[in-house]
Amino acid sequence: MTVVSVLSMKGGVGKSTVALGLASAAWSRGLRTLLIDLDPQANATMAVDVGTPEFTASDVLADARPGIAQEAIVDSGWGPSMKVIGSERALEHRNVASGRNSALRLRTALATTPKGFDLVLIDCPPSLGELTRNALSASDRAIIVTEPNHFATHGAAEALEAVSVIAATTNPRLRAATVVINRLRSDDREHAFHVEQLTLQHGELVFPHAIPECAGIPLSQRAVSPLHSWHSPGSREVSEVFDDLLDSLMPAPKPGTRDSSLTLKRYL
């Protein structure tokens, strides 16, 4: 089982979109996936069609007994392979430290979760507060989402530092983060500039395939459907990027090699 946190210090860069894109890639492969929504905005919860779950991540973190998370797991509208621990507004109460080992509450709550999941995805809130600390403390991998603009790239650097701090303190098994560039416009020179800067600053930590701006993403989210079930040329292209990203997290043999048309190499 691989546990992946999707985070960014800046809001609106597409954390939930990337978490849902990865969930969609896992769904298309039939991987047994648990999506944990740690963002009080609950956008990921809405997008996987779980209605209003009785228990949420807020209740799990307030309780934090070993294994208690399994009692908050609900089915999603995406089918039997996709399970969810949903979010609610009250989750904001959990974004402050409470007592000793406060950052380990999620890890403890997940401790005895049945090993039936191949992948656990955690959608973080747009802050580096206690919810994100809990997510990183429970994770094997971290995905940092950024847009190719000035403020977002600054937020990405802050998030990378946060991952390093958690890896050096509460979670030594947390590996170096991957920076994913979202909403890239191929004809935008400002975007090209920031892609180059990100690559210069963070080198191989930057995922080599950017996620292009695509109208199909919000449409599929509004339709509470996996992106991989959304058939348009743009959606297929974005789906392939998420497939590649999932491969980088949990490599799986795939037939043939993909010809991804939008890579960072075009801008360098």
Give the dihedral of Cα atoms 146, 150, 156, 161; nearest 10 deg.
180
Of 30, 51, 79, 89, the one binding other proteins (CB under 8 A) is: 89
By beta-carbon proximity to other proteins, the closer residue of 60 and 159 is 60
By beta-carbon proximity to other proteins, the closer residue of 67 and 218 is 67
Number of residues that bind other proteins (CB under 8 A): 24
Q: Closest separation between CB of residue 72 and other proteins, Å?
A: 6
Q: According to CB under 8 A, which residues from 23 to 42 bind other proteins?
A: 40
Bridge pairing between strands 74-76 and 79-85: antiparallel
What is the separation of C-alpha 192 from the centre of its chain, rounded to a whole number of angstroms?
A: 24
Q: Could you give the angle at which helices 15-29 and 233-249 cross, rounded to 10 degrees?
A: 80
DSSP 220-265: HHHTT--GGG--SHHHHHHHHHHHHHHHHHS----SS----S--GG
Residue 149 tokens read as 């603009």
Of 19, 68, 156, 181, the one binding other proteins (CB under 8 A) is: 68
By beta-carbon proximity to other proteins, the closer residue of 32 and 236 is 32
Q: Closest separation between CB of residue 216 and other proteins, Å?
A: 33
Which residue(s) pair with 181 in the sheet?
146
Of 12, 51, 67, 79, the one binding other proteins (CB under 8 A) is: 67
What secondary structure letter does DSSP report for 215?
A: T
Q: Does 90 bind other proteins (CB under 8 A)?
A: yes
From residue 95 to residue 134, what is the string marking binding to other proteins with x (rule CB under 8 A)? Answer: -x-xx-----------------------------------
Cα(78)–Cα(94) distance, integer angstroms: 28
**Which residues of this chain interact with other proteins, rule CB under 8 A?**
40, 54-55, 58-63, 65, 67-68, 70-73, 88-90, 92-93, 96, 98-99
